[in-house]
Amino acid sequence: MEKTIGLIRERIRDGNARVVTAEEMPHIVDELGEEGALREVDVVTTGTFGAMCSSGAFLNFGHADPPIKMERVWLNDVEAYGGIASVDAYIGATQKSTTREARYGGAHVMEDFVSGKAVELRALSTGTDCYPRRTITTELLLENLNQAIMVNPRNGYQRYNAAANSTDRSLYTYMGMLLPNCGNITYSGSGLLNPIMNDPSFRLIGSGVPAFLCGAPGMVIGEGTQHSPASGFGTLMVTADMKEMSPDYLRAATMTGYGVTLYVGLGIPIPVLDIETVRSTAVRDEDIVVDIIDYGIPSRSRPSLRKVSYAELKSGAVELHGEEVRTSSLSSYRRAREIALTLKTWVEEGKLEPALPTRGIDTTRSALPLRETVQGPRVLDIMDRKVISIGQDEEIRTAAKKLLKGETNHLPVIEESGKLVGIVTTYDISKAVVNPGKATRVRDIMKKRVITTTPEEPVDIAVRKLEKHNISALPVIDRDDRVIGMLTAMNLGKLFGGRWLK
Amino acid sequence: MKLIVTFSRKAGKKPIIAQVVRDTGVLINVERALIDSSEGEALIDVPDESCSVVKERLAELGASVRVLEDIISLDESRCVDCGACISICPQEVFSFDEDWKLVMEGDRCVLCGRCIEICPQRALSQKGEG
């Protein structure tokens, strides 16, 4: 048996349609079987509410008198892209305020507009014969704008990898706070309620399909940026009128240590046309598997600690390395549910009529990494190759002499084999002199936990280590932990005026 | 019951909390303490029935004592029930109810401040410091 979209619409108009949420669907299929569910259910609604950084809106301010061609535009001190005609701009969710940094950004501007608050517009121009004005400052409400059309380049990720941190210090990421030694796991997404997860082959989700977006009736434009359905990470580009949105489903947020983002509510109704739709909408959290990625590794190809299902993530704790580790969701399942339920009402009441795509979405594509034609500086390009080191049984006085003679502040401490075992600094030695105690040998005063770098490491990563640990030098070690160089704050000076910075 | 005890150390480094434990015989759990050369502040947990005797003795020894109740405040209009606070709290103050609504057991809190710092919606604050 198959149903047509016409039949489903007719049932909706007659008030006979059965609309259910994707959360109810697995139980219905259990109860009625696939054929029974196909006969019974006409539309399945989905929903998700979480941080979606790739969001923003096109705004049209209208013309001033005398007119201005707004070349640079700020809204409450958050810069919007003004390189589109004269009074249009695109405000991006993650753009930070020039005055309030991470506490306020593009997402907050959008939330303020939707909440009915006044937003200050400032714009600059060089002035032309047709647009003579050079500056403008004015306060605007959402209703004063001709258009405020949200267009989100990448929303509704099909699923998202969970996060943990194997290092010995806390990390602040876009996946929230990650405690040291894999002390917690964070994840995002609504699992079985996720729109694409209910139609992973994009048979029914595509261009022109209606959607719930931040409380407004909106539409799927097509595939989202970084769309990668071949690996199970499809995305959508979506749009809706901001003037119809609600702050309940559009929320600015700040991920501490990362920056501003926007919590977006998205839901798509899926017409149940055939058995395949019944099967895909009966998806369960147990079926949706992601990796737990180790964010402690500062590289694009971060390793996976294990596979995990949304069912396990949602249970509140996951076993990792033989221990129960607590999980935190970053998206709101409660609001995802509310969205699916609201959408259900909208479909039943005819506010949003299910439709088939006018253009399909590619199901084979994989997102590629950035092609880099110019390699950034690596540690080996600027490190000091002359290493002055010391043994751990040497006297502190010998270390002091070496430091003076070598005109350096850091002495790596090495074993006979050349292996790094510690580090002493001029500070450690001064401290030993001021507080003369039992310490006589280098081993008594050296720091054993040494932060190191490798020759191949990008300088930016090494600099991040220096900043994070508030230190001024890193021993450069090879695969056998032997010190082959030193990277100090002095070496970084080589970057300036050299070939790396133009 | 949780008490915030503040005391001056200018008069000398008296072991105030140890003294109270010995004098009252009440076992006190120190959950957080910040003590430097001039003053100290400790968050202690004492059995409800022994609260008044501990408070009295602390006061006699020159400390000021404040009872902590519902120390973390959740702004329900900001909270979206995401749950970012759940796994980072060392005291397991936060959890979801069966409807995925965030619930809080404030009396377990030891004021480490982590949740206030990381809440994406800035919905959490310390009571009285809103």
* Average pLDDT over every residue of A415-441: 87
pLDDT tens digits, one per residue of A116-164: 999 999 999 999 999 999 999 999 999 999 999 999 999 999 999 999 9
- CATH class of the domain defined by B2-68: alpha beta
> ipTM surpassing 0.85, yes or no?
no
Question: What is the residue-wise DSSP string for A32-85?
Answer: HHHHHHHHH--EEE--EEEE-SS-EEEEE----SS-B--SEEEETTEEEEEEET
Distance from CA of A107 to the nearest CA of B (A): 12
Tell me the mean pLDDT in the region B51-73: 84
Q: Which residues of B touch A (CB under 8 A)?
A: 80-88, 92, 95-96, 99-101, 114, 117-118, 120-122
Q: What CA dihedral angle connects B36, B39, B44 and B48, to 10 degrees?
A: 170
A139 and A162 share a domain?
no
A186-199: pLDDT as tens digits: 999 999 999 999 99
Please indicate, yes or no, whether residues A190 and A277 belong to a single structural domain of this protein. Answer: yes
Give B87's contacts in chain A (Cβ within 8 Å): 179, 184-186, 325-328
Note whether A248 and A324 are same-domain residues.
yes
- My answer on whether A41 and A66 are in the same domain is no
Look at residue A362 and tell me if it is in a domain.
Answer: no
CB contact under 8 A, B85 and A337: no
Q: Is A367 among the domain residues?
A: no
The verdict on A292 and A165 lying in the same domain is yes
Multiple choice CATH, B72-126, 3.20.20.70, 3.40.50.300, 3.30.70.20, 3.30.450.20: 3.30.70.20
* Burial tier of A15 (Cβ tally within 10 Å: 0-12, 13-18, 19+): exposed
Nearest to A169 by CA among A178, A177, A180: A180
Query: Residue with structure tokens 């004015």?
Result: A138
The minimum CA-CA distance between B108 and chain A, rounded to whole Å, is 17
Q: How many Cβ atoms sit within 10 Å of the Cβ of residue A484?
A: 16
Lowest mean pLDDT among A21-35, A61-75, A213-227, B35-49: B35-49
> Among the residues of A306-395, which ranges form H helices?
310-314, 333-349, 379-382
The model carries a pTM of 0.85
In a domain, A360, yes or no: no
Q: d(Cα A71, Cα A86) in Å, to the nearest integer? A: 7
Chain A residue numbers touching B81 (CB-CB < 8 A): 332-335
Indicate whether A500 pLDDT > 70.
no
Q: Are residues A83 and A175 in the same domain?
A: no
Determine contact, residues A384/A486, Cβ cutoff 8 Å. Answer: yes
Where a domain ends, among A94, A118, A145? A145
Of A186, A251, A316, the CB nearest to B80: A251
Rounded to the nearest angstrom, the minimum Cα separation between A174 and chain B is 10
A interface toward B at CB cutoff 8 Å?
49-51, 172, 176-177, 179, 184-186, 251, 253-256, 261, 263, 316, 325-335, 337
> Are residue A208 and residue A302 in the same domain, yes or no?
yes
Question: Do both A36 and A122 map to the same domain?
Answer: no
Mean pLDDT of A28-38: 97
Per-residue pLDDT tens for A43-68?
A: 999 999 999 999 999 999 999 999 99
Residue A502 confidence (pLDDT): 46
CB contact under 8 A, B81 and A50: no
- Contact between A261 and B80 using a beta-carbon 8 Å cutoff: no
Q: Which residue range is the domain that position A479 belongs to?
A: 379-495
Per the annotation, the verdict on A214 as an active-site residue is no
Domain boundary among A145, A171, A205: A145
Q: Verify that A69 and A21 share a domain, yes or no.
A: no
Domain boundaries, chain B: 2-68, 72-126
Mean pLDDT confidence for B116-120: 96
Opening angle at CA A397, ends A383 and A480, nearest 5: 40
Number of domains chain A is built from: 3
pLDDT tens, position by position, A346-377: 999 999 999 999 999 999 999 998 888 888 88
Question: Do A68 and A47 share a structural domain?
Answer: no
Is there a single domain that holds both residue A217 and residue A328?
yes
| Whether A338 and A413 share a structural domain | no
Has residue A116 been placed in a domain? yes
Q: Identify the domain boundary among A145, A173, A194.
A: A145
